[in-house]
Structure 1
Amino acid sequence: MSKFFTLVQLRYFGTVARLENMTAAAAELNVTQSTLSSAIARLEDEFGASLFTRLSSKGLRLTPSGKRLLMGSQAFLEEADLLYQAVRDEGEALAGELVVGMYSPLAPFKAPVILQEFEAAHPHVKVSFHEGDQESLRQALLDGVCELALMYDQGIGAEFDRRVLERIPPHILVPAGHPRAATPQVPVSLLDFVDEPLILLDAKHTREYYLDMFSQLGIRPSIRHVVSGYETVRSYVARGHGYSLLNQRLSSDLTYAGGSVVPLEIIEDLPPIEMSLVRPIGAKPTRKSLAFEQVCIALYGEGSGANHSTSVRADRFS
């Protein structure tokens, strides 16, 4: 049985889903709230399902049916825009908005570089990054807040497809005055640091990743401080509070608090972190998100000068 809904209704729905508030959505769309409510009601009638849960004090939340409609409608609306451009002979230059999830510790390293390359290739697309920890990004993907996310591999479940862009090995970080800092080119053993105070980066999954390294070697670290910020960890190390384990390396050894840090290669074969592009399974990607994916592959994938790229369930991802 055919269903009848309009592009306008879908666009209205997408705005309400993004803002989670009918009044705010009506103001952004420059329509009356009754017009907007009527459009959403007609969509719900056509699909025979509630698209939002009405919360008395917290606005609206997408239902499971609403989440599925949001993920499916993004690519559908983009195709409609491209059809309009084709009829008007305006070419198929990508345009519109794209929201990409970004694991917060990665953002300072990756977001500016990716944005510069993407904007040069697709100047009519407005990209915004939704930063968060691993858990909040998983939920943002499932809720349709962002189409894809650049994040680490920890905690990614079977409901997601991912493309591994880069494998980043761990390293030990010591202050510039540490005895080992005098020969930074010489790999060190994590076993040699077991009695020194550890500054542990405290992020869900990441914390367990680092602690598992000690377990693999049959040792227990002497944790002195547990810190949630990447740059805070570096500053603690630079000021002599201990050493740390990290993956991302900065081009500068200077820290915000003053003083320098020195990265040391680890001689043990410890597992790297995988930086991946992640999507929900079953979500049809828009051309904008596929273009973003290609920029990331060019920057960090195989042949880019970064570590090798590997596809995981790539037949479903691409």
Structure 2
Amino acid sequence: MEFPFTLNQLRYFSEVARHESMRIAAEELHVSQSAVSTAIAQLERSLHVQLFIRQRNRSVTLSPAGRRFAAKTRTFLAGAESLSEQGTLLGGTLSGRLAVGVYAPIAPFRFPRVLTTFEEQHPGVDVDLIAGDLEEIRAALVGGECAVALMYAHGLGPGFETRVLETVRPHVFVSSEHPLADRDSVHLAEFAHEPLIQLDFPFSRDYYDQLFRLVGVAPNVRYSFNDYETVRSFAAMGHGYALLNQDPTPATYSGAQLVALNLKDELPPIEVVAVWPENTRLTVRARAFVRACMDHYLPEA
């Protein structure tokens, strides 16, 4: 039986459908825009149907027939990938590419070690990394830009499968010169009148705001940054205190030392999870990555 399309044509079509742009699809596929445009035109001629409606601003939208075909294409490509993986497994090794998302504040700490573990176990797999805030990684999972992610569970919402890897508690971070720096533990309310250096990420900000509400404190936000190390450096230099969960090292980019103080308050921790969309069949590569996460975080599991 001869098919009126090729796998490459379907891959190109699927990327254009996802981005509604031939230029962006070409960039994602690492091919020329003309190659994508030609493949789409050939596919439409072979199927005798218009899959896209071309817009004046050079973007494209799926036609009604294109929307139906896109849904079938995703299923077909997933099956083709599964078949390819099974063939690879017959040779005893994994190969190919795997897109992994990671929450930016986690990326510098444990993720490099997780990646090392995975690469040692599966040297034939090339990992494409997508780093961002929780909202961006969640969107990447939903949009199919990454197969699996390492992130916080907070703000994830329904529609996802998770494996809990670690539970981390919040700490107050202060300069080594701070009057309370030699304390083992503190109450968050002790910092009610001090300036806060806020980590301003979607969902993360909501979590920390919740902690302040639980202890009846309205934080005095002095500076707000969407970069984890900037928050740590400002706190280390004495510009205020920070409320964070990760506690990797006292060193900061500024050269000043940062001290992590335990909290006496009973505040909810946050879970570090491996996550993927619910009702999605993980590829063999993605399952192997989840296993590598568990090997690192939960070596006895």
Shorter-chain TM-score: what band? 0.7 to 0.9
Q: Output aligned runs, 1:243-282, within 5 Å.
A: 243-250=241-248, 252-282=249-279
Asked if the contact 1:103–1:133 (Cα under 8 Å) also holds between the matched residues in 2, the reply is yes
* TM-fit CA distance, 1:217: 1.2
Residues 7 and 235 of structure 1, relative CA distance in 2, 3 Å threshold: same
- 2:84 aligned partner, one-letter code: D
- Aligned-residue offset at 1:279: 1.6
> What RMSD, in angstroms, separates the aligned Cα atoms of the two structures?
3.2
Give the CA deviation at 1:111.
Answer: 2.8
Q: C-alpha displacement at 1:223, in angstroms?
A: 1.8
* Separation in structure 1 between the aligned mates of residue 270 and residue 48 of structure 2, nearest angstrom: 43
The count of residues paired between Structure 1 and Structure 2 equals 292
Contact 1:9 1:43 in 2 (8 A): no
Give structure 1 stretches of 5+ with no counterpart. Answer: 305-318
Q: 1:53 to 1:246 in 2, by over 3 A?
A: farther
Correspondence 1:222 to 2:220: yes
2:148 — aligned with what? 148
Q: Could you say which residue in structure 1 is the equivalent of 2:157? A: 157
Question: How far apart are 1:227 and its partner, in Å?
Answer: 1.7
The whole-number CA distance in structure 1 between the counterparts of 2:56 and 2:142 is: 23
Tell me the equivalent position of 1:198.
196
The amino acid that maps onto 1:265 is: N
Deviation of 1:41 after TM superposition, in Å, equals 6.6
1:37 pairs, out of 41, 61, 68, with: 41
1:247 aligned partner, one-letter code: N
Contact 2:170 2:263 in 1 (8 A): yes
Provide the C-alpha distance between the structure 1 equivalents of 2:92 and 2:61, rounded to a whole number of angstroms: 34
Structure 1 residue 83 displacement after superposition: 4.9
In the superposition, the TM-score normalised over structure 2's length comes to 0.83
Letter in 1 for 2:252: T
In 2, Cα distance between the equivalents of 1:98 and 1:43?
31
Which residue of structure 1 lines up, in the alignment, with residue 82 of structure 2? 79
Take 2:300 and 2:231, find their aligned partners in 1: how far apart are those partners? 32
Which of 283, 287, 290 is the aligned partner of 1:290? Answer: 287
* Cα drift, residue 256 of structure 1: 0.9
3-state SS in 2 of match to 1:181: coil
Amino acid at match of 1:115: L
Native 8 Å contact 1:234 1:255 kept in 2: yes
The aligned counterpart of 1:96 is 96
**Alpha-carbon distance in structure 2 between the residues aligned to 1:169 and 1:67:** 43
What's the offset of the Cα at 1:225?
Answer: 1.5
Query: 1:176 Cα deviation (Å)?
Result: 0.4
Output the CA distance in 1 between the equivalents of 2:101 and 2:260.
28
State the TM-score, normalized to the length of structure 1: 0.79
1:182-226 deviation per Cα after TM superposition (whole angstroms, max 9, x unaligned): 24xx22111211121111111111112111111111222222211
What do the CA deviations read for 1:16-69 (whole angstroms, capped 9, x no partner)? 467742683593699574334323675796xxx95x675543645788767755
- Same amino acid, percent of matched pairs: 38
Deviation readout 1:51-90 (Å, 9 max, x if unpaired): x67554364578876775576455423322245447xxx6
SS, match of residue 181 in structure 2: helix
